[in-house]
Every structure is written in C-alpha cells, then in structure tokens.
Amino acid sequence: MSKITYLNSHLHKFRKEPEYKVDLEDVEALAYYDVLVREDKKTTKIFMKCFNNKETYKKLLNKLPDHVDRIGRFYLITTYWLCYINYYHYDTFGDEVNNCLHDIDQEKVLLSSPHFCKKVYYYLMRPDIV
C-alpha cells in the first residue's frame, strides 16, 4: 500500500456536525411508537396535544392510555423529551443531551433501541435531590 494520504479522509475530523432542528411533522412521525402494529391515533393525538401545550413529559406519562406497553412508554417519553428540548429549548439542546448521554454511559442517541429508551426513561424519572 502506498503512503498517499488522501486529504478527504482527514477532513471529516474538522467538519462540523450538521445541526438537527425538529419540526412539528417530525414530532408527529416520532409519536408512532410500534412498527409491528397499526398506528394508535389516540396516543399520537395525546402526544401532539401535550407537545403543543408545552406540557412536561411527566404529564404526558399520566395521560397515556393503559394499553401502551412498557417499551412503548419508554420510547414515547424519551422521544417526547428529546423533541421538546430540541423544539422549545434549542439553545440548550446539545448540553442537555450530552449530560443525559454521559449519565447513562452512552455515546449516541438511539431511539430504535429499547435498551437506550429504558435508560433515558429512568434517567428522566430519577428523584431529584434538593
């Protein structure tokens, strides 16, 4: 192998990561929590109503129907929290997510992983010591 160093292979170190700003269509698409069954329009409606009213993820948790399973709840709360801070508090989004990822010992946001959503859920539900 030659010792040619391609400039393009080193540029990715210095490229700024693209910033992601969520919009309402993205939020509604993320409210669909189970790919194996049809969309639960009632849950999506509750999710979007809470989001538009700027309610906390704990209020959303109280309003979710009983038929939503534990994994669905983990996903919905994680998604709601991430969308909420991205949409309404974009200036602190990076810091909040980095704090969460550091505390749960993860490197990336993986909404498709039930294990990740469970860790974030318990991170968000931990008792705050005053």
In a domain, 27, yes or no: yes
In a domain, 10, yes or no: no
Other Cβ atoms within 10 Å of 40 Cβ, number = 18
Residue 37 identity (one-letter amino acid) = V
Per-residue pLDDT of 30-40, as tens digits, reads: 887 765 566 78
In a domain, 129, yes or no: no
In a domain, 130, yes or no: no
Number of folded domains that form the chain: 1
Tokens of 55: 């309610």
In a domain, 5, yes or no: no
Say what the pTM is. 0.78
pLDDT of residue 13: 58
Per-residue pLDDT of 42-52, as tens digits, reads: 888 999 999 99
In a domain, 113, yes or no: yes
In a domain, 9, yes or no: no
Other Cβ atoms within 10 Å of 44 Cβ, number = 18
In a domain, 8, yes or no: no
Domain containing residue 32: 19-124
Of 10-14, 32-36, 70-74, 99-103, the poorest mean pLDDT is in: 10-14
Spatial separation of the C-alpha atoms in residues 83 and 87, rounded to whole Å:
6
